[in-house]
Amino acid sequence: MIYLSTFHLPSRDEDESYFFTPGNAKNMRNIYTTKYPFMMFRDRGLPDDFEFSDITIICGNNGSGKSTILNVIAEKLNLKRNSPFNRSDFFEDYVELCDFTLDRMLSCNSCVITSDDVFDRVLDIRRVNNGIDSKREDLLREWLDSNSSDADANLHGLDDYERWKRVSDARNKNKTQSQFIRSRLMRNVQERSNGESSLALFVDSIADDALYLLDEPENSLSPANQLELKYFIEDCVRYHGCQFIISTHSPFLLSLKGAKIYDIDSNPVKVSKWTELDCVRVYKDFFTENEHKFID
């Protein structure tokens, strides 16, 4: 399903004219302020318009600007996002010069999901688990106290009914210490690994019939979980009416079925097959060189 069909970033001429047009007061705000994202792509040979498929990938090395492109698109489309991003004094002016075409109206579920969102999710889970672990210690002490010989001495009729129930429960011969604690404690959220929790973020955040921008989603994901995310994205496109624009250099995600890949490390920027990309060839060459070390 195609929602966003094309997106136009400022050309070299548009980029330069913004700063060198006489009388343009905006460009004089502070000559020492970074002009980012102006000038970032002026010599990179960008296409006149990025044309999008069901799955479109912006591929490039660290610092190539692939995340910047996603942030500009997200800002222009006013997509939902949770994590802040690097904005300069000129960011809004740059976005104003951009243009786009939609094939379909964007749904309210459309959003951008970044590696910072994944990191925040993992930290939130750790904070929750720290609280759960603290509660577990309190319950263990309660269980031990309730099974002590003087536990009844501190009970005073109906006023202590709730505490009496806890004592009675703790003394239940059919309930072990572990069962007692588990029965009163929510399951530890982080019984999964960080990678599994990161993968769950994408599964939880992606609904039907929407546009999703994913910024380096491979961060915090093991190779196996990157493959799981690849299959999940393919299913979302095939069965659930989603469109994805992804910045990545993960070979697993670059192999997404039917993906259109812009190699922004090339000049001019071109559409490439995933097997032609330098970042994938590095993996191939490495494993070919070490193939004899693998034992079947």
pLDDT value at residue 181: 43
pLDDT value at residue 26: 59
Q: What is the mean pLDDT of residues 94-111?
A: 94
261 CB-near residues (< 8 Å, 6+ apart): 56, 57, 59, 254, 271, 272, 273, 274, 277
59-83 pLDDT per residue, tens: 988 888 899 999 999 999 999 988 7
The two tokens of residue 101 are 């075409």
Give 195's strand partners. Answer: none
| Cα separation, 39 vs 65, whole angstroms | 11
Q: What is the mean pLDDT of residues 171-195?
A: 48
Q: Which of 57-61, 151-155, 261-265 has the lowest mean pLDDT?
A: 151-155
**Nearest CA-CA partner of 246 in 225, 226, 222:** 226
Give 57's strand partners. Answer: 246, 261
Q: Are strands 55-59 and 243-247 parallel, antiparallel or unpaired?
A: parallel
pTM here is 0.74
Backbone dihedral angles phi then psi of residue 5, each to the nearest 5 degrees: -95, -40
Measured between alpha carbons, how far apart are the two ends of the chain, in Å? 42
222-239 pLDDT per residue, tens: 899 899 999 999 999 999
- Helical pair 194-205 and 223-240, crossing angle rounded to 10 deg: 10
Residue whose structure tokens are 């800002």: 75
Q: Are 177 and 168 in contact (CB under 8 A)?
A: no
Q: List domains and CATH numbers for the chain.
A: 4-117+205-293 (3.40.50), 119-191 (no CATH)
pLDDT value at residue 88: 79
8-26 pLDDT per residue, tens: 999 888 887 877 666 565 5
What pLDDT band is residue 117 in, cutting at 50, 70 and 90? confident
Show the CA angle centred on residue 231, arms to residues 189 and 108, nearest 5°. 70
pLDDT value at residue 186: 44
Is residue 27 classed exposed, middle or buried when 0-12, 13-18 and 19+ CB atoms within 10 A define those classes?
Answer: middle
